[in-house]
Each structure stands twice: as C-alpha cells, then as structure tokens.
Amino acid sequence: MNLHYCKNYDEMSQLGAELVMGEVEINPGLLFCAASGNSPSGMYQLLVQRNEVSPGFFDFMRVIKLDEWVGLPADSSFTSEYDVQEKLLKRLGISGERYISFDAQTSDPQNECERIQDEIEENGPIDICILGVGINGHLALNEPASHLQTYCHIAKLSETTLSSGMIEKVGIPLSQGMTMGMGNIFESKKIIVFFTGKGKKPALEKFLTKEISSELPVSMLWLHPNVHVLIDQASFS
C-alpha cells in the first residue's frame, strides 16, 4: 500500500497523472479502467494536456469504463458514459475499437454485465484501475454489505449514495447501477485511488485503521499488492 498525502486537489491530480503516464511509457497498449466523477477529473485534464504536447502518446492505450447507472435517458449528461467521453475519450482520440463500455441504455442490465465480464476475460487483465471513493467507502458501485460481489453485476444503490448531491440533481429516480466487482478490481495490476471531496473524512479515517471489512469496501484494498492511495488533504482540513 502506497499512501500519498497531497497538499490539495491539484497536487493529487498531478501525482495521479504521473503514475499513469509512467505506465503508458512502459506499455503504450495497456488497458486503462476509467472512473467517472469529479475525483479523477483533474488527472484526466493533465493527461489531455500531455497528449497535446506529445501527440500520439495515447494512440495505443485501451480504455474500459468502470460502471454505469441504470435507467438514465440517452440524452442525459449524468451518465458515466457522457462524463468519460467528454473528459477523456474524445480529447485523447480513443476510438471505439479501443473502448469497452457498459451500455447506459441497455434494456437488459444483467446481460450487459455478462457481456462486459466476457470482454474483461478476453481483453484483460486491467493494467491500471482508477477509483474514487464514496462517502460510505464504496468502490465503483460496490456498496457496503455483509458480502461483496466478485465480478460484473447489477448493484442496488445504497441510501447514502442516492442521497448524494450529484444523484439528487439527476431528476430521475435511480435504484441500480452496473459495475465491475471487487474481483475485477483486484485483478488489476495497479490501482490508483483518489480520496477527495466533502463528507469523506469518516471513510478515510476508517480506512486508515487498516481494519478490513466488506462494510467499508475501500478497506479491501489493503490486501492488494500494488495500490496508490492519493489523499487530498485540503478537502479534509
């Protein structure tokens, strides 16, 4: 476990970008698992800037999307798809041939989870997995529970997740998401976790006790051999 205490969001984002770019230099065709949301946004912007300075730097990188909400309309700007496309894929020129994604408009979420699981088994393992942390310590949409799912599955969203500011802005009742499981995450060669944002201090404090529990999914990462946890200290002051 590598803990990095960063002064602020910008420093955290810079370190995340350096870790990713270092791996791309070694393995240009690596499989990159992209999370949506604000936590990795600053890092994505820095990757875009690197691509502008060094055109072609990401021309072989493959991307897979971490999760997706179930039930949002096609024109919604709240889908994980929209977020990842606008912040990363379009700006790096990642073509469809190099992108694997849960379909936000699927009529059969279970079949979609099985399809993505097949894609991972065929194209994986994931080389770098990017993760944010929920207020309740969830990873992707793996919510606190008595047990956690191993592979891609339909997740029931917790009340804590549903009451988050972003979800409330959607304007459409949500109850489920499609997500990679903890096994998919653990099979990743390197994991980069961003701890930043209001309301996450209790989850961080529990995580730092090193006690492992499925009731705090992020704590499971203490068992992985190659994790970088980037902590935005300014957001916890």
> pTM of the prediction?
0.95
Q: Which residues of the chain have pLDDT under 70?
A: 164-172
What domains are there in the chain, each with its CATH number? 2-236 (3.40.50.1360)
Identify which of 135, 145, 190 has the alpha carbon closest to the alpha carbon of residue 166.
135
CB neighbourhood size of 115 (10 A): 16
Per-residue tokens: 16: 């995340």
pLDDT at 165: 57
Q: How far apart are CA 236 and CA 229, in angstroms?
A: 15
Cβ-Cβ contacts under 8 Å for 93 (sequence gap 6 or more): 51, 58, 59
pLDDT at 170: 63
Question: Residue 148 half-sphere exposure, CB side, CA atoms within 13 Å?
Answer: 27
pLDDT at 114: 98
Alpha helices in 98-181 (DSSP H): 109-123, 159-162, 165-170
Tens-digit pLDDT profile for residues 162-215: 776 555 566 667 889 999 999 999 999 999 999 999 899 999 999 999 999 999
Task: For 52-164, list the strands marked E by DSSP.
Answer: 62-65, 67-69, 99-100, 128-132, 153-156
132 beta partners: 194
